[in-house]
Amino acid sequence: MKFYVRTYGCQMNVADSNEMSRHLKAEGLVETQDPDEASVMLVNTCTVRQHAEDRAFSEIGRLKRWKAKRAGRKVVVTGCAAERTKEYLEDRFPFVDLVVGAKSIEDFAQVAHRLLDRRETDEELDYAIPAVDDKVAAFVTIMRGCNYSCTYCIVPYVRGREIYHSVEQILGEVRDRVREGAREITLLGQTVNSYRHGQHRFADLLERVSAVDGVDRVRFISPHPYYMTDRVIETMAAVPQVCESLHLPVQSGSNTMLKAMARNYTREQYVAQIEKMRRAMPGMTLSTDIIVGFPGETEEDFDQTLSLIEELQFDWGFIFKYSTREGTPAAKLDSFPQELIEERHQRCLELVDRIALEKRSKLVGTLQDVLVEENNFGRTRTNYKVHVNGDGAPGQEVRVSIANAHRATLEAAL
């Protein structure tokens, strides 16, 4: 019996999908890339912005026909939107067999077992294969949930309070992934650097994971500026496996907005941290998330965001249009007309893209060490994606010269 997984949302969700796939494989199912072949369809949803949720819901709507095409097919809806709208989902899409919210991902093993116990499909199990995830760059979830309460954000409601995996569990998962072929490990959590377990803090984990045999590269997402302590910065600089690249969401360049968002740092503190990091790791890349059009954002506030982008010269960034999430504190504030949000989004995107292109252009002609992942793609330690023209097998690190940087994916010279 085969299953197909469709994932919306963040890397956390991708990691959850991988985890759920491992459980389904442990039950003897086989993953397919073709929905027509599948008997179980798993849709892992996101609710961070309305747009993400809408996309997942229209996909679920289309699955009614998919399900009717073959007897015994099952539709499973999981993740953040499932957590937020469980009853609504069950009412609107009565053909869905099972809804599993983001808070229940850790119980998915039992859920999978129950789902398949009640199996009435037209197929026998193909064959049992071990749960294998043969990715060169693997994710390992170290914590779930979020104790922050950024006023725009739905995540704490759908994922709950922070829980941390033990160091032993994390190292065990890292070793499993390495055995399956991983060379690069990305540690994952909503505020990944707030990790604590017993005496262990995030910096300890970076050291321990880097020391696992076979781990060549270590990354992490998404850190919160508040927990970017000197010790974390020093550890990043000192441990060779930790890559020189950081995604540190800033959200806004205006102190008024940062306060209204309850981000717990000022623009000046963020800038000082980046300066410290760049001194410790020259050549590191820096990327960020920005929200435009948060309620009350004046033209001056918005200009502050643009000036921060100019000042810090982010290597790339993700710019989000503010989206009202029901139940969050910001949902009570008056939001802007969509046209204004669109216009600011456009201006912000143009600036970020211009700087990103300038940065990439400087890489042309340089030599870069690329860890090959699959399909001729790999990444530099600084996290640029590179098309490598068949140099090197997955899992190998190759040194290539960069020929072209017009698009986000760099091209290696032939």
Residues at the interface with ligand 5AD (CB under 6 A): 10, 48-49, 152-153, 249, 251, 289, 291, 320, 322-323, 325
| Residues paired with 378 in a beta bridge | 372, 386
In the bound state with ligand 5AD, the residue whose beta carbon lies nearer, of 153 and 158, is 153
- Provide the mask over 141-160, with x wherever binding to ligand SF4 is found by CB under 6 A and - wherever it is not: --------------x--xx-
What CA–CA distance (Å, rounded) separates 233 from 249? 16
Of 1, 15, 20, 46, the residue at the interface with ligand SF4 (CB under 6 A) is: 46
Residue 49 binding partner per list ligand 5AD, ligand SF4, none, with a CB distance cut-off of 5 to 8 Å that depends on partner kind: ligand 5AD
Verify binding: residue 43, ligand SF4, rule CB under 6 A. no
Number of residues that bind ligand SF4 (CB under 6 A): 13
47 contact, one of ligand 5AD, ligand SF4, none, CB 5-8 Å limit per kind: ligand SF4
The C-alpha atoms of residue 272 and residue 83 are separated, in whole angstroms, by: 38
Residue (48 or 205) nearer to ligand SF4, CB: 48
CB under 6 A: which stretch of 9-17, 123-131, 166-174, 349-357 binds ligand SF4?
Answer: 9-17
9 forms part of the interface with ligand SF4 (CB under 6 A) = yes
Alpha carbon distances (Å) from 239 to 185, 307, 384: 14, 33, 20
- With vertex at residue 62, the alpha carbon angle to CA 56 and CA 66, rounded to the nearest 5 degrees, is 125
Query: How long a stretch of residues is the chain?
Result: 414
Q: Is 47 in the site for ligand SF4 (CB under 6 A)?
A: yes
291 binds, among ligand 5AD, ligand SF4, none (CB under 5 to 8 A by kind): ligand 5AD
Sign, CA dihedral 307-310-312-315, equals positive
Distance from C-alpha of 259 to C-alpha of 262, rounded to nearest angstrom: 5
As given in the structure block, the two tokens for residue 67 are 């399900």
Residue 23: its H or E element:
helix 11-26
Residue 270 CB, nearest approach to ligand 5AD (Å): 14
> Percentages helix, strand, coil for the chain, rounded to the nearest 5?
40, 20, 35
* Least distance to ligand 5AD, CB of residue 194, Å: 15
Token representation of residue 77: 């809806």
Q: Where are the alpha helices (DSSP H) in 183-298?
A: 202-210, 230-238, 255-260, 267-280
CA nearest neighbour of 329 among 265, 266, 264, 260: 260
- Binding partner of 7, given ligand SF4, ligand 5AD, none, CB within 5-8 angstroms per partner class: none
Residue 317: which of ligand SF4, ligand 5AD, none does it interact with, CB under 5 to 8 A by kind?
none
C-beta of 288: minimal distance to ligand 5AD in Å?
Answer: 8
Question: Least distance to ligand 5AD from the beta carbon of 186, Å?
Answer: 15
> How crowded is the C-beta side of 179, counted as CA atoms within 13 Å?
9
Is the Cβ of residue 320 or residue 384 nearer to ligand SF4 in the bound state? 320
The DSSP-derived string for 36-57 is GG-SEEEEEE--SSHHHHHHHH
Cα separations in angstroms, 100 against 37, 179, 229, 296, 382: 23, 30, 36, 36, 36
Task: Candidates 41-49, 267-275, 305-313, 335-343: pick the segment binding ligand SF4 (CB under 6 A).
Answer: 41-49
Using CB under 6 A as the criterion, what x/- string covers residues 80-109 for binding ligand SF4? x---------------------x-------
Pairing of strands 245-247, 98-101: unpaired
C-beta closer to ligand 5AD: residue 27 or 53: 53
Q: Which of 172, 174, 168 is nearest to 215 (CA)?
A: 174
Member of 1, 10, 167, 291 binding ligand SF4 (CB under 6 A): 10
We find the least distance from the C-beta atom of residue 275 to ligand 5AD, in angstroms, to be: 22
| Residue 352 lies near ligand SF4 (rule: CB under 6 A) | no
Unique residue bearing structure tokens 């019996």: 1
**Least gap, CB of 237 to ligand 5AD (angstroms):** 25
Provide the binding-site residues for ligand SF4, judged by CB under 6 A: 9-10, 12-13, 46-48, 79-80, 102, 155, 158-159
